[in-house]
Amino acid sequence: MEPLAITLCIDASKPHVQTDFIVVGAGVAGLRAAIELASAGRVLVIAKDSLRESSSEYAQGGIAVALNDDDEVELHEQDTLVAGDGLCDAEAVRTLVEEAPAAIEQLIEWGTAFDREGTRLLFAREGAHSRNRILHAHGDSTGREIARTLRRKAASLENVAFQSFSAVTDLLLHDGEVIGVVALDSTTQSTIAIQARAVLLATGGLGRVFENTTNPDVATGDGVACAFRAGAAVEDIEFVQFHPTALFVPNAPRFLLSEALRGEGAYLRNASGERFMERYHPLKELAPRDVVSRSIVLELRASGDASAFLDLTHLPAGFIRKRFPRIFETCLTYGVDLEKSLAPVRPAAHYAMGGVQTDLDGQTTLPRLFAAGEAACTGVHGANRLASNSLLEGVVFGARAGRAMAAVSALPSITAVPRASLFPAITERDLRAIAWNSCGVLRSGPELAAASKRLAARRFEPLSSPDRAAFELRNMHQVASLIAVAALAREESRGGHYRTDFPAKSALFEKHSRITARLHTDATVVFS
């Protein structure tokens, strides 16, 4: 059974609504938390768009878990730590990999149909993994299948309700505690204050901040921006993962061509037909994502070509169509037959390692505010996420956040008044160009300083009737500013953050960056 979206009573005579728990976001992390919360009270899951439009739905690569016969939790742990390039929180990583097997078995029990070979689960390998430990569903629709399972499970619970097409614009505060949210109903263009015992931000990523991204349009960094404005600490926001292989075809979205393609033997070639990755890393196409992305950018800068190319034509006939049906059909739609021709590719913003700072239970630095999934920073990914750990993080830490929220005491009756909002006078096109050109794959101090100055110089003005697009632009501007400031302060290269003027890793910066609203007034980043 699929959930039906409910409609809140939004009118001038009833400006406030109360529930027990609010979950902002209907992806894997939010749904898993909602399921955990259902026994503790009424849960309202709020989705900015339809319930099916989330980053989880687009996750192709798979979900990592040490369940294969030749694998061990300790190996998964070590691979994650290595990928994180010195910035992983060891306790968070241990929690992730230890709780992964039970979490996956629970998903299977609830009906998730992972791919199998006969009756045995089919495990694949991706870049930087030392074992075959990646589970897929329907070849390349893993996130969609897990989200489907969790939606169905959540919908079966009496206490869980859903509100679609409602953008959360701000958090409600009282005496330093988060007591709810302000939401904009897209159908009526009306706002409403919704009060709750605790709020979970599971809003997904921030990829739309950049000109080129594999993320859906809803990925505008809403959770990070709302939490920051409320006073919560944001951690490691400079670490953005750029996926090396996004389809680069005119008038087509930057559709992600999964790392699993290279795991199955795809080659990267330049316009001359040369496999160039061997010049950059001994693992060639299976090098860590940040290495592959930088290598492609450097190759293109040297040659002046528009794109590199992903070559699967040497693989057995019919293999790609069967193993990656969604990718194959999408590429075919845009005129690329992966079995017969090379796919033009370029890097694109894909995943944010940083986000709202949390502990292992999703608690942020603000009372009653929690975060999980890509919007959160638990420290599990460090400076560079290991492939296929993102869906796993959403499942494991979504459940942990739900359990922690269930223990939050009841909220006293408080009348919450939404604050007035100011909006940046900048076009989305200009904002995304600034972020891409200055905060992209290759960064430098002068470019970051200029970007930060340009973003800070934009005037802010009130709007009489702001719509969803206006609120999204405000959030994108906030997030882009945070990335620029934090990236400028980190004078080294590590993981997904690469400075051409500081190309080496520095022991001085083997620390997490943290920034809060009171510090951002003078553009100060604290490392600890």
Residues with a known catalytic role: 289
User: Minimal CA–CA distance to 375: which of 403, 406, 401, 408?
Assistant: 401
Nearest 10 degrees: Cα torsion 240, 358, 218, 477: -70
| Burial state string for 83-121 with b = 16 or more CB within 10 A and e = fewer than 16 | bbbbbbbeebbbbbbebbeebbebbeeeebebbeeeeee
Amino acid identity at 507: A
Three-state SS for 515?
A: strand
Bridge-partner residues for 263, per DSSP?
Answer: none
Write down how long the chain is: 528
H/E element, 157: none
Q: Which among 126, 151, 139 is positioned nearest to 64, based on CA atoms?
A: 126
Place of tokens 């796993």: 392
Greatest CA span in the chain, whole angstroms? 68
Task: Please provide residue 142's backbone torsions phi and psi, each rounded to the nearest 5 degrees.
Answer: -65, -50
Residue 118 is which amino acid?
Answer: G
The secondary structure of 233-272, three-state, reads CEECCCCEEEEEEEECCCCCCCCECCHHHHHCCCEEECCC
Residue 524 tokens read as 């100060």
Q: Rounded distance, CA 275 to CA 473, Å?
A: 40
Instruction: Give the residue from 240, 258, 169 showing the smallest Cα distance to 467.
Output: 169
Instruction: Answer yes or no: are the C-beta atoms of 224 and 237 closer than 8 Å.
Output: yes
Pairing of the two strands 369-371 and 198-201: parallel
Kindly give the interhelix angle for 90-110 and 390-406, rounded to the nearest 10 degrees. 90
Q: The tokens of 108 are what?
A: 């299977």
Burial of residue 319 (CB within 10 Å: 0-12, 13-18, 19+) is: middle
- Token pair of 316, please? 């057995």
Q: Strand runs (DSSP E) across 391-511, as ranges? A: 423-424, 460-461
Strands of 49-121, DSSP E? 63-64, 116-117, 120-121
- Which of 528, 391, 498 is CA-nearest to residue 59? 391
